[in-house]
Amino acid sequence: MNRLAIIKSCYQRSAINIGNWTADLSLLFLRLLAARVFYMSGRTKWNGLFQFNEQKYDLFMYEFFCPEPVREGALQLCNPETLDYEEGSAIVGVIKALAVSAGILEILLPLLLLIGLFTRFAALGLLAMTLFIQLAIFPEWSHWWNPAAWWAVALFAVLSIGPGRLSLDRV
């Protein structure tokens, strides 16, 4: 075997070994990246264990679903003329349920992603939240390219490849 063939063989073995090692580390970093963003958002929705921050209802009601000024293409659930909700409206209850659900999911799904348990399910849930935020709340290209595209890429990678060997799913 000539020297060039030996060098080529060593390079190929090294590349495979490095690829195997860095693939699992890369998947761990992708999981951590996505988990941190959503977990930090979820923490702002709670004042303590099982104590929802009621100020977040206003965030959902007026910033997300009834913004002023109105965001073109965004889901608007309030009266478009008054930019307010009707007293006793059922939609207010739905929005409050969405706020609490988001608060729960933004804690639970990132924790699952972090430890690598039910990882694809967690990635799919967070990807659905990313797409909902992008399509219904902030339907502007500027929001898509920064930050939503980064979240989506990380979550798509974990969803398609899996959590890697550094996860409880692997066990």
Q: What does the pLDDT look like over 59-85, one tens digit per residue?
A: 999 999 999 888 899 999 999 888 899
pLDDT score at 26: 95
pLDDT score at 1: 67
C-alpha closest to that of 137 among 82, 52, 59:
59
User: Residues 115-168: pLDDT tens digits?
Assistant: 999 999 999 999 999 999 999 999 998 888 988 999 999 999 999 999 999 999
Pairwise CA distance, residues 32 & 83, whole Å:
38
Residue 94, helix vs strand vs coil: helix
The answer to whether the pTM exceeds 0.85 is yes
Angle between helices 90-115 and 3-43 (to 10 degrees): 150
Query: What is the torsional sign of CA 156, 32, 112, 40?
Result: negative
pLDDT at residue 95 is higher than 80: yes
pLDDT score at 156: 97
